[in-house]
Amino acid sequence: MYVATIVASAKKRNLNAETLNEVRANLADVSRVAVIREGIAADIYFEQIDLGYKPPQGFDFIIQKAAARKKKLLVCDMESTIIQNEFLDEIAELGGFKTEVAKITEKAMNGEIGFREAIEARVKILKGMPESEIRALIETRLTYNPGAKELLAACKKAGVYTMLVSGGFTIFTDAVTRELGFDESHANRLEFDREGFLTGVAPPLLGKEAKLEIMAAQAKKMAISLDDCAATGDGANDLPMLHAAGLGIAYMAKPKVKAEIKNQINNSDLMAIGYAIGLK
The footprint of Mg ion (CB under 5 A) covers: 77, 79-81, 234-235
Q: Please give the Cα distance from 265 to 280 (Å, whole number).
A: 18
Cβ proximity to Mg ion: between 89 and 234 the closer is: 234
CB of 168 to Mg ion, least distance (A): 8
Minimum Å distance from CB 59 to Mg ion? 23
Toward Mg ion, which CB reaches closer, 43 or 269? 269
Q: C-beta of 96: minimal distance to Mg ion in Å?
A: 24
In the complex with Mg ion, which residue's Cβ is closer, 44 or 206? 206
Is-contact 1 31, C-beta < 8 A?
yes
In terms of CB distance, is 234 or 269 closer to Mg ion?
A: 234
The phi, psi pair for 64, rounded to 5°, reads -155, 170
Q: How far is the CB of 237 from Mg ion (least distance, A)?
A: 7
Q: How far is the CB of 167 from Mg ion (least distance, A)?
A: 7
**Which of 165/219 has CB closer to Mg ion?**
165
Q: What is the DSSP string of 101-113?
A: HHHHHHHHHTTSS
**CA distance to 27, 229, 244, per residue, from 217 (Å):** 37, 12, 13
- Please state the φ and ψ torsions of residue 137, each to the nearest 5 degrees: -60, -25
Peptide bond into 255 cis (omega under 30): no
Measured from the CB atom, the residue of 6 and 164 that comes closer to Mg ion is 164
CA distance 168 to 188: 6
Give the shortest CB-148-to-Mg ion separation in angstroms.
13
- Comparing CA positions, the residue from 260, 279, 22, 251 lying closest to residue 156 is 279
The helix (run of H) or strand (run of E) holding residue 233 is strand 229-233
Using CA atoms, how far apart are residues 173 and 31, in angstroms rounded to an integer? 43
Residue 7 · residue 70 · CB < 8 Å: no
* Segment holding 214, helix H or strand E: helix 208-221
Query: Which CB atom, from 81 or from 218, has the smaller least distance to Mg ion?
Result: 81
Least distance in Å: CB of 173 to Mg ion? 12
